[in-house]
Structure 1
Amino acid sequence: MLRRLSLLFVAVSSALLSAEPSEKVFELRTYHANEGKLDALHARFRDHTVSLFEKHGMTNVAYWTPVKNEKNLLIYLLSYPSKEAREKSWQGFMSDPDWQAAFKASTAEGRLVGKIDSVFLKETDFSAAFTPSESTRLFEMRTYTTAEGMLPHLHKRFRDHTMKLFQKHGMSNLSYFELLADQDKAEQTLLYFLAHKDAEAAKKSWDGFRADPEWKKVAAKSEEDAGGRILVKGGVEAVYLQPTDYSPIK
């Protein structure tokens, strides 16, 4: 009996040690709606696209529009079990008669989208997660560009200090991503999401964070350890986002 249990333990341990790391892939897609077509684009997603994505094995994570949306953008996040699964899902989606009918009907008076941007992501080892909320929140998408060779130092600062300080000052850590290796500036980019109660809460949180002596100490020490500036000049981009009414996460 003991021998059988020992053999079972070895087999299970070997399987765990040889298991492949998660291949889960995220895709951040930005649609530039044509003038006057954003409402129609929302209607197509609400009535057709979201459910068809699910039908074809894609996971709808969240859908947003920028709070200041002068460019008529729809920004959304999908996830897939792997990059290969992503290709299969999109092939099935694009050839689906229901999608083709919805696309044709929605574009009878002109195309809704002028341009689509797409970037592929994977979660960092310190990523939190998108979690539901009972009330609608204000989201913040932040993109950091590091100097060459500095991304591991930035990751360490977030892993060991920054996320805890965000939480201390009332911000909710959501997912943190690095770009897949074949993406532009993959070795220099961290993209992540925060959630705030509202704009006033966001301002209060950031003011408190930036003035925190602990943050100032951490920032200085991390650059001392790195041997120079971690971020390039102008290397922080932030966009405040509001969830659409059909977004799974609000």
Structure 2
Amino acid sequence: MIYELRIYDIHPGKMQAINDRFAHFTLSIFAKHGMRVTEFWQDIDDNRNRLYYVMEFSDMEARNQSFESFYNDPEWQEVKSETEKEGPIVAKVESVFLRQVPYFPQP
């Protein structure tokens, strides 16, 4: 199992827009493509404008196939276009790939 920590730098004034997009659209489109989000956070420092979430995949190939399907999904393309009519929401996306260590107990 691999985990992907995704870190989004959000354009100023767009935090509500990204939260709304995830809540109303993105998470259900992820699910349609078998993509599982395990955790979600917003930076406690509002000046940082950062959103963090962790996704779980069986391996890197499954991750890449899932994202390719997601990005090519007409529903996602329409949602992205509609929600960004007043400009982009996300300034930068960073991904960190992780695997669990054997000595820490899993819940």
Amino acid at match of 1:112: I
User: How many matched pairs?
Assistant: 107
Corresponding residue number in structure 2 for 1:70: 47
Q: Work out whether residues 30 and 76 of structure 1, in 8 Å CA contact, stay in contact via their aligned partners in 2.
A: yes
Q: TM-score, normalised by structure 2?
A: 0.95
1:41 to 18, 36, 59: 18
Q: Work out whether residues 57 and 80 of structure 1, in 8 Å CA contact, stay in contact via their aligned partners in 2.
A: no
Unaligned 5+ runs, structure 1? 1-23, 132-250
Question: What is the Cα deviation at residue 67 of structure 1?
Answer: 1.6
Residues 1:80 and 2:40 aligned together: no
RMSD of aligned alpha carbons: 1.1
- Output one character per residue of 1:77-134: Cα deviation in whole Å (capped at 9) or x when no partner: 00001110000000000000110011001000000010111110000002334x6xxx
- Output one character per residue of 1:39-96: Cα deviation in whole Å (capped at 9) or x when no partner: 0000000011111111112111011012223110000000001110000000000000
Structure 2 CA distance for aligned equivalents of residues 103 and 127 of structure 1: 38
Residues 1:107 and 2:84 aligned together: yes
Distance 1:52 1:128, change over 3 A: farther
Structure 2 CA distance for aligned equivalents of residues 127 and 111 of structure 1: 39
Structure 1 CA distance for aligned equivalents of residues 8 and 22 of structure 2: 12
Alignment of 1:164-203 (within 5 A): none
Corresponding residue number in structure 1 for 2:31: 54
Corresponding residue number in structure 2 for 1:212: none
SS of structure 2 residue aligned to 1:70: helix
Q: Work out whether residues 29 and 77 of structure 1, in 8 Å CA contact, stay in contact via their aligned partners in 2.
A: yes
SS of structure 2 residue aligned to 1:36: coil
Amino acid at match of 1:104: S
SS of structure 2 residue aligned to 1:123: coil
Structure 2 CA distance for aligned equivalents of residues 30 and 69 of structure 1: 15
Residues 1:25 and 2:2 aligned together: yes
SS of structure 2 residue aligned to 1:124: coil
